[in-house]
Amino acid sequence: MQLNVLLLPGDGIGVEVTREARKVLEQVGRVFGHTLKISEALLGGIAIHKTGDPFPEDTRELAAEADATLMGAVGLPEFDNAPPDKRPERGLLGIRKALGVYSNLRPVRSYKALLDSSPLKNELVDGVDMIIVRELTGGVYYGTPRGISGAGLEERAVNTMTYTRGEIERIAQMAFELARKRRKKVTSVDKSNVLENSQLWRRVVVDVAKQYPDVAVDHMLVDNCAMQLVLNPKRFDVVLTENMFGDILSDEGAVLAGSIGMLPSASLGPKRPSGAWTGLYEPVHGSAPDIAGQNKANPFGAIGSVAAMLEYSFGLTREAQAVNAAVENVLNSGRVTADLKPAGKAATTSEVGDAVCEALQPARKEVGAAKS
């Protein structure tokens, strides 16, 4: 199979973790006999530096042509006080909107080897396996009117949280479909005691749930959900929520996984004529300026995003499983970065990438042996 992939390393540790993700993708190509056509483009702070635009036209065109896009992270401290359209994060919102990837899937699971990396008690974390389904192209991050106007004590900022029934329906359907392949439970998270937006959200989810009588559904206010995620995380299977709530709750999920560097994500949009999802894949973390350039960032989230890409955009389930198995194998061997190993000798970002590539080798023999 030919895999036509666009890489957008972005800023800070985005560059470092994407380099490792690329190595792993190339190794998958070698081990499983796929041809790769990989291109790279600019997004975020580096794109502003080189072109003046956080989401240049060239990047937009290449992303439209690629079968799938793998992103690192964007954000540079020097843009913290820049106007909104000259900030790296505008590039991130721009590419998500341009590709129409409305459905952001963020799996959160615990690994036996990392139970002690979580600040929570082992018995709370052991066995956690949930997926956060976050609406990605609507809500307060995109709603208009927005902006800052006026001066002095009258200076005023406005954002608008807006959703249509159609936008809620399609993300809810995604959550229920996923639940059918898992433990058949959806928890829809909103703030319907205060926000009209959430009242519509809840009504639509109740309506969609009627099409899935085999899936249990419950509704939870977002403040309670923030608490339940650390009190009783194993109660969750599929968590369905809007854009900003999902952004915040999934960082909380990092506490369960042991480090934010562990979390991958897949952002899916309309299906293509081939039947594959339009996909943008990225680790959940940001550009981490505090550790950028030191070869110590955890690349597992980016590598897990490669596995998600193989599965959703290329239908290569066996290859995706092999990458996930290689990750687990390396975790078990203790070759992990400093965020997971505060004491003792930690591995570097590139050593972890190399270890995953090595661990991918035997996967083929095992698969071949099973076939013969």
**The binder of ligand NAD chosen from 18, 59, 298, 305 (CB under 6 A):** 298
| C-alpha 1, offset from chain centre | 25
Query: To the nearest whole angstrom, how small is the minimum distance from the Cβ of residue 337 to ligand NAD?
Result: 6
Nearer to ligand NAD, 65 or 78 (CB): 78
Q: Which residues contact 203 (CB under 8 A, 6 or more apart)?
A: none
Distance CA 229, CA 237 (A): 11
**The binder of ligand NAD chosen from 28, 41, 42, 92 (CB under 6 A):** 92
Nearer to ligand NAD, 138 or 299 (CB): 299
Query: To the nearest whole angstrom, how small is the minimum distance from the Cβ of residue 150 to ligand NAD?
Result: 26
Residue 197: CB atoms within 10 Å: 21
Please say whether the beta carbons of 136 and 102 come within 8 A.
Answer: yes
Quick check: 125 binds ligand NAD (CB under 6 A)?
A: no
Quick check: 357 binds ligand NAD (CB under 6 A)?
A: no
Residues in the chain: 372
**The binder of ligand NAD chosen from 31, 48, 63, 74 (CB under 6 A):** 74
Residues with catalytic annotation? Answer: 141, 191, 223, 247, 251
Give 213: exposed, middle or buried? Use CB within 10 Å, 0-12, 13-18, 19+: exposed
DSSP output for 245-314: HHHHHHHHHHHHHS-GGG---EEEEEEPTTSPEEEEE--SS---TTTTTSS-S--HHHHHHHHHHHHHTT
**The binder of ligand NAD chosen from 46, 215, 288, 322 (CB under 6 A):** 288
Binding mask 229-268 for ligand NAD (x = CB under 6 A): ------------------------------xxx-------
Please say whether the beta carbons of 263 and 131 come within 8 A.
Answer: no
Binding mask 314-343 for ligand NAD (x = CB under 6 A): -------------------------x----
Binding site for ligand NAD (CB under 6 A): 13, 17, 73-75, 89, 92, 259-261, 282, 285-291, 297-298, 301, 339
